[in-house]
Amino acid sequence: MITKTLIPARGGSKTIPRKNITEINGKPLIYYAIKASLDSDVDETWVSTDDDEIAEVSEKFGASVIKRPKEICDDIIMPDSALIHFSETHDFDNLVFIQPTSPLLDCKYINAGIEMIGEYDSVFSAYKEHWIPRWTLDREPDDWNIKSRPMRQEKEEKWVENGAVYITKRQDLLKTGLRYSGNIGILEMPIGRSFQIDTYEDLELIEKLVV
């Protein structure tokens, strides 16, 4: 069984310009995703990008690069399009999809997810969350009643998809066009490893956690 990793990394980013190569403790953000993959049991690590500088940085740290077509680089297009593009042009059995915005991902979670394929058709990483009172932006209770506020123990825990890693069979990805399908398994990660970088505040926090 051949397993390959794909890390989609567009050049454009509105919230943090050049986010994927913004430095965290002296290393570009994408380095951490590449390293996690290279340290894992995958056979090959690839970066899909439309950006020459990201391509150069990715190759410097040991990843192979596939040029991402401009038509699937818009910020409203889901990264699943890059996964499909890669799967249509490369031969393998299973695909590991890592987002470069998850620098706390450790290779042991990738390996654990790979081992789950077989029992499951696809896997995604998540953490468990206890119920907490959430409010809408209109200041209305979100799925609970202010007059009968429930206790945490009365509510079920829920899985929160952390966006760090997804693993799927190539044949299922090409058939469904989705990063997960069929019998879906959940790879549990601690919340302390689940932070993603979307804002400058996230960057400041992650810099304190990355070693």
Active-site positions?
149
What are the distances in angstroms from CA 194 to CA 24, 36, 81, 137, 190?
Answer: 17, 14, 24, 24, 7
Q: Which residues contact 169 (CB under 8 A, 6 or more apart)?
A: 93, 94, 95, 117, 121, 122, 182
Looking at residue 195, its amino acid is F
CB-CB neighbours of 38 under 10 Å: 15
Query: E strands, the chain, where?
Result: 3-8, 23-24, 27-28, 44-49, 64-67, 94-98, 122-129, 158-169, 184-188
Specify the DSSP element, H or E, that contains 81: helix 80-89
Q: In this structure, what token pair is assigned to residue 154? A: 């009365």
CA distances from 47 to 16, 18, 62, 100 (A): 20, 15, 10, 10
Amino acid at 163: G
d(CA 40, CA 150): 43
